[in-house]
């Protein structure tokens, strides 16, 4: 069966989904899975979208030592299931100032995307690794890069600038925002299920190991908590979030730390892990009696409340609030605590609906509607990939006959 493959590569895991193409915009997920524990305890897990688990395979560390080898294992296994891939779509975190929409990948595009590795050192190298592997091994296979920054690229100048000389903005030092594929998917879901809300003033909280918030007006991003890099805004699993830049100068000049040491501290040793001294996993922190663990969670909730106020100011009010991503979708406790912080904005959480994880968790009397919407970045990537390649193909890609 011809299929479209979507890859979302991280430092220690590679997520994938395979989609059947059955119409101009009709994509059906066939298989979803991931290779995790790369280089340590590699494990391939995959399931049919319709019936559940179909494989769970473990490997020696040397068998899947890096992201390209994980890509090869995943692709070989998928092809053993009778799938033939006509294209691959990739999540790429940073598109810089030049990529404001999905792009067909070639070596020149990869070279341009390499420039943004310093702006997203946790993500960009791993996003590019499977792309480069496929360019080498399957140069005939069309690949499309879909960018987390693209959804935010039409912010107004006030939201887009730092208070630095214009020359820095012109060379690309500006507020980009991230998690755009997730926000785009949520905006689309709101337009389908709650069009009156989708056209209003909405804050979306993408709360996971990486966390940010986005202000939507008429379904478009107008402001975000993340900026030039993925370090800004909310505290995250291991990243610091908003930080006085003078602290970096202090670490350089007074603590005599090298730039690489500071980068490691801010990206890997801060956030919930740094505050708790224990873990970056919210589930572990919620279960812990440790005072520092509870402080880390309270700090997380507090900063979300502060940034919600900022985004509500950018929107001139608030009509709806959406929780999404791993923590937002799964932690009823944190949703309730965040809702209590937002009571002054008109948020009232229905405790029973929240505990049950219903799509709407606000009370009928709440001035602000509160939703839980599971994100699906992979589907968004598949849609963009299909649209771009169909526009270029002759005959159009979506008109190809799919046979099983």
Which pLDDT score, from 0 to 100, does residue 400 have? Answer: 46
Distances (CA, A) of 238 to 208, 211, 307, 335: 11, 10, 19, 20
Bridge pairing between strands 52-58 and 84-92: unpaired
pLDDT tops 50 at residue 403: no
Encode pLDDT of 197-235 as tens digits.
Answer: 989 999 999 999 899 999 999 999 999 999 999 999 999
Q: Could you say which of 56, 140, 148, 196 is catalytic?
A: 148
pLDDT tops 60 at residue 274: yes
Residues in the chain: 404
Which pLDDT score, from 0 to 100, does residue 402 have? Answer: 35
Tokens of 71: 């890509």
Query: Is 106 among the catalytic positions?
Result: no
pLDDT tops 50 at residue 167: yes
d(CA 117, CA 114): 6
The answer, as to whether pTM is greater than 0.85, is: yes
Cβ neighbours of residue 336 closer than 8 Å, sequence gap 6 or more: 349, 351, 354
Q: What is the mean pLDDT of residues 62-91?
A: 88
């Amino acid at each position: 069966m011809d299929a479209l493959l979507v890859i979302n590569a991280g430092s220690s895991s590679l997520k994938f989904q395979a989609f059947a193409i059955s119409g101009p915009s009709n994509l059906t997920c066939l298989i979803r899975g991931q290779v995790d524990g790369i280089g340590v305890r590699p494990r391939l897990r995959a399931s049919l979208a319709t019936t559940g688990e179909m494989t769970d395979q473990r490997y020696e560390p040397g068998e899947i030592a890096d992201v390209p080898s994980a890509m090869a294992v995943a692709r070989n296994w998928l092809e053993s299931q009778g799938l033939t891939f006509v294209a691959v779509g990739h999540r790429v975190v940073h598109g810089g100032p030049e990529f404001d929409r999905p792009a067909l990948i070639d070596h020149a595009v990869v070279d341009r995307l390499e420039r943004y590795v310093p702006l997203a050192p946790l993500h960009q190298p791993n996003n590019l690794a499977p792309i480069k592997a496929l360019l080498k091994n399957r140069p005939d296979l069309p690949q499309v890069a879909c960018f987390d920054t693209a959804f935010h690229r039409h912010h107004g100048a006030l939201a887009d600038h730092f208070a630095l000389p214009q020359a820095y903005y012109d060379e690309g030092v500006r507020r980009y925002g991230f998690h755009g594929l997730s926000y785009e998917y949520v905006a689309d879901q709101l337009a389908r299920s709650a069009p009156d809300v989708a056209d209003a003033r909405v804050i979306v909280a993408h709360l996971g190991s990486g966390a940010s918030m986005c202000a939507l007006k008429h379904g478009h991003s107008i402001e975000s908590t993340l900026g030039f890099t993925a370090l800004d805004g909310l505290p995250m699993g291991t990243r610091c979030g908003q930080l006085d830049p003078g602290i970096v100068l202090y670490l350089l000049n007074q603590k005599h730390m090298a730039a690489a040491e500071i980068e490691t501290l801010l990206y890997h040793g801060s956030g919930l892990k740094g505050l708790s001294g224990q873990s970056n996993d919210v589930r572990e922190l919620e279960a812990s009696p440790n005072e520092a663990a509870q402080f880390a969670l309270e700090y997380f909730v507090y900063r979300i409340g502060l940034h919600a106020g900022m985004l509500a100011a950018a929107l001139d009010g608030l009509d709806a609030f959406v929780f999404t991503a791993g923590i937002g979708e799964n932690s009823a406790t944190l949703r309730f605590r965040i809702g209590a912080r937002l009571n002054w904005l008109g948020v009232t959480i229905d405790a029973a609906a929240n505990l049950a994880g219903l799509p709407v968790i606000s009370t009928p009397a709440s001035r602000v509607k509160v939703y839980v919407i599971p994100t699906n970045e992979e589907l968004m990537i598949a849609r963009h990939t299909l649209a771009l390649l169909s526009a270029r193909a002759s005959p159009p890609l979506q008109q190809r006959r799919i046979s099983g």
